[in-house]
Amino acid sequence: MKRYNKDTEEKILLVAQRIFREKGYNGTKTQEIADEAGINKALLHYYFTSKSILFEKVFLGSIEEVFGALGTHLNSPESIIEKTPKMVSSYLQFVSKNSNLFVFVISEAWQNPEFTDKFVKVVLSKIDYKQYVTSFKREIEQGVIKDIDPVQFLINLVSLCIFPFIGTPIIQNVFAKIEVDKKEFFLQRKEVITNTMLAMLKK
Amino acid sequence: MKRYNKDTEEKILLVAQRIFREKGYNGTKTQEIADEAGINKALLHYYFTSKSILFEKVFLGSIEEVFGALGTHLNSPESIIEKTPKMVSSYLQFVSKNSNLFVFVISEAWQNPEFTDKFVKVVLSKIDYKQYVTSFKREIEQGVIKDIDPVQFLINLVSLCIFPFIGTPIIQNVFAKIEVDKKEFFLQRKEVITNTMLAMLKK
DNA sequence: ATTAAATTTGACCAAATAGTTAATATTTAA
DNA sequence: TTAAATATTAACTATTTGGTCAAATTTAAT
C-alpha cells in the first residue's frame, strides 16, 4: 500500500496550484510543475495519476477558498448593519491579495460547467448561507433595514469587491492616475463599497 | 499584390473570434478554426500569418466591443440622474448576451498585460470619458448630486453589471432557485442596480 | 483563349507535451 | 542486517499542434 511522502505530495500540489492559477489549465505544462517542484515528471503521475486529476484537486481547493473567505463574518451574531462593513473589509482584503484566484475560478468554471456545479454544491453544503438570509429577513420585518432581497444584496457585495480587482489589467489603463495595486486605491474602494452597501440598507 | 477574398478573410476572423472567446488562446486549435471555417489550415496562415497574430486581432476587437458598449449613453446631453438608468439598462443587456466576451477579455488580459495596455490605450483614445467626468463634477458643484468620485461611480456601475453574469457558473449554484440566464433574473438585477446607483447619487 | 497572378490545397515537418516503463535508490520492518 | 516495499528517476513513446511548401486551382487581364 502506498503511503506517499507527504512533503513531496504537498510540494507538487502547492506548485501546481500556483501555476494553474496563473496560467489556467491549458497554459500549464506538467513539465513546468515538475521542474519547479524539483521532481521528475513521472513522479507527478505517481502521486496524482494525471494532469486533469491534479487540476481537479486544485480547482476544488480554489472554490473552497473563494467561498470560505466570504463565510468569515457571514453568520456572526451581529446585526446586518454591523457586520456588513466587516464583510466588505475582510473580503476586499482577500480579493486584493488573490486576484488571480478569482480569474482562474471564473475562467475555468466556464470551461468545465459540469463539475463546477458538482464542486460548488459540495462546498456550499458546508456554508450556512440560509441562516444569513433568515436573519436578514427578520431584520426587515423588524423594520431595522429596507426591504431588499438578501440574495441580490450579497451579489452586489461580491460584485463590488471582486470585479475591480480581477479587471485591473483593463481598468488601470482607463484612469491612468490610479494605481490599482496601491494601498490608496484599496482604501478608497473600501470606503465607497461600504457606503454603497449601507445606502442599500438605509430606509 | 495580394487582394484577398474578403468573404474568406471575414469567415476565418468570425470563426476565430467565436472559438477564441469560448476556449481562450491556449484552448483554441488552429485546425478547429480552419475546419469550422471550411478552409485549409494553410490558408489561415496565408491570411493571418500566425495563430498569435490572428488572436491579437480578435483580442483588440473584443476590447473595442467592451468599451464601445459602455460608450453608448456616456456623453448624451442628459443629466447624470437621467442617463444612469439608461446606461445600466443598455450595458446590462449587452453583458447578459456576451458573458463569454468579458470572461475572455479579463482572462487574456492577465495573460498578456503588455499588449493589453497598448490595446486599451488605443481604444480609449476614441472614447471621451473625460467629458463624462467633467459634466459629473459640474453637477456636483451645482448641488444636484452627492459629492462622489465619478471614477468610483463608474467602477461600481460596471462591477454590478458585469460580475453577476461572468460569475454565472458559480453563482447559479449558490441560489438554486435562480436561473441566471432567465429573463426574470435579468429584470430583477436591472432594477436593483438602477436603485443602487441612484442611491449613490441622492443627497 | 492564353497567360500571369492570386488563392487554395494536401502532404509534410519539427517541436512540444501528456503519459509510460523499466531500472535505481531509498525507506521500512523483520 | 537484510529483504521487501515504497519512492524516484532517466529514457522513451505516441499524439497533438503550429507552421511550411510545392503543387493545383481559380480569377482576371490581355
Mean pLDDT across the stretch B94-103? 97
A170 → closest Cβ in B23, B120, B169: B120
Residue B161 contacts by C-beta under 8 Å, 6 or more apart in sequence? B88, B91, B92, B95, B193
And the C-alpha cell for B156?
Answer: 461600481
Protein contacts on strand D: list nucleotides below 7 Å from a Cβ: 5-11, 16-22
Q: Are A103 and B106 within 8 A, CB to CB?
A: yes
Q: Considering only residues 16-75 of protein chain A, which place a Cβ less than 7 A from any atom of strand D?
A: 38-43, 46
Distance of CA A83 to the CA centre of its chain: 19
Q: What is the mean pLDDT of residues B136-142?
A: 97
Instruction: Identify the closest residue of chain B to A130 by CA–CA distance.
Output: B175
- Given an 8 Å threshold on Cβ–Cβ distance, is A196 in contact with B200? yes
Query: DSSP secondary structure string, chain A?
Result: -----HHHHHHHHHHHHHHHHHHHHHH--HHHHHHHHTS-HHHHHHHHSSHHHHHHHHHHHHHHHHHHHHHTTTT-SS-HHHHHHHHHHHHHHHHHH-HHHHHHHHHHHHH-HHHHHHHHHHHHTTS-HHHHHHHHHHHHHTTSS----HHHHHHHHHHHHHHHHHTHHHHHHHSTT--TTSHHHHHHHHHHHHHHHHHHH--
- Of residues A71 and B191, the one with the higher pLDDT is B191
Query: CA of A10, closest CA in chain B: separation in Å?
Result: 26
- Pick among A66, A152, A161 to test the B interface (most B CBs inside 10 A): A152
Asked if B27's CB is within 8 angstroms of A110's CB, the reply is: no
Closest CB to A110: pick one of B100, B116, B160: B100
The C1' atom of D18 and the CA atom of A119 lie apart, in whole Å, by 35
- Which residues are CB-neighbours of A2 under 8 A, at least 6 positions away? none
Burial A30-44 (b: 16+ CB within 10 A, else e): beebbeebebeeeeb
The Cβ of residue B159 has, within 10 Å, a number of other Cβ atoms equal to 26
Residue B203 is predicted with a pLDDT of 79
| SS3 state of residue B149 | coil
Per-residue pLDDT, A165: 95
pLDDT at B178: 58
DSSP state of B145: S
Side chain identity, residue A136: F
Q: What pLDDT score was predicted for residue B121?
A: 93
Q: CA at B46, C1' at C4: how many angstroms apart?
A: 20
Residues in chain B: 203
| Residues 36-95 of B, Cβ under 7 A from nucleic strand D | 41-42, 45, 50-52
Question: Among all strands, which nt has the closest C1' to B30 (CA)?
Answer: D18
Looking at this protein, which amino acid is placed at residue B60? L
Look at residue A114 in the predicted model and tell me its pLDDT.
86
Nucleotides of strand C within 7 Å of the protein's CB atoms: 5-11, 16-22
Q: Given a cut of 80, is residue B181 above it in pLDDT?
A: no
Q: Is the CB of B163 under 7 A from strand C?
A: no
Q: What is chain A's pLDDT, residue by residue, as a tens digit (203 residues)?
A: 566 778 899 999 999 999 999 999 999 999 999 999 999 999 999 999 999 999 999 999 999 999 999 988 999 999 999 999 999 999 999 999 999 999 999 999 999 998 899 999 999 988 888 899 999 999 999 999 999 999 999 999 999 999 999 999 999 887 665 565 578 889 999 999 999 999 999 98
Q: In this predicted structure, what is the pLDDT of residue B79?
A: 97
Say what the pLDDT of residue B172 is: 86
B159–A158 CB contact, under 8 Å: no
Nearest in space to B92 (alpha carbons), one of B184, B157, B175, B172: B157
Closest-CA residue to A110 (of B174, B185, B103): B103
Instruction: Please enumerate in sequence order all residues whose Cβ is within 8 A of that of B138, keeping only pairs 6 or more positions apart, or say none.
Output: none
Once rounded to an integer, what is the mean pLDDT over residues B113-124?
92
What is the C-alpha to C-alpha distance for residues A55 and B137, in angstroms, rounded to an integer?
49
| CB of A131 lies under 7 Å from some atom of strand C | no
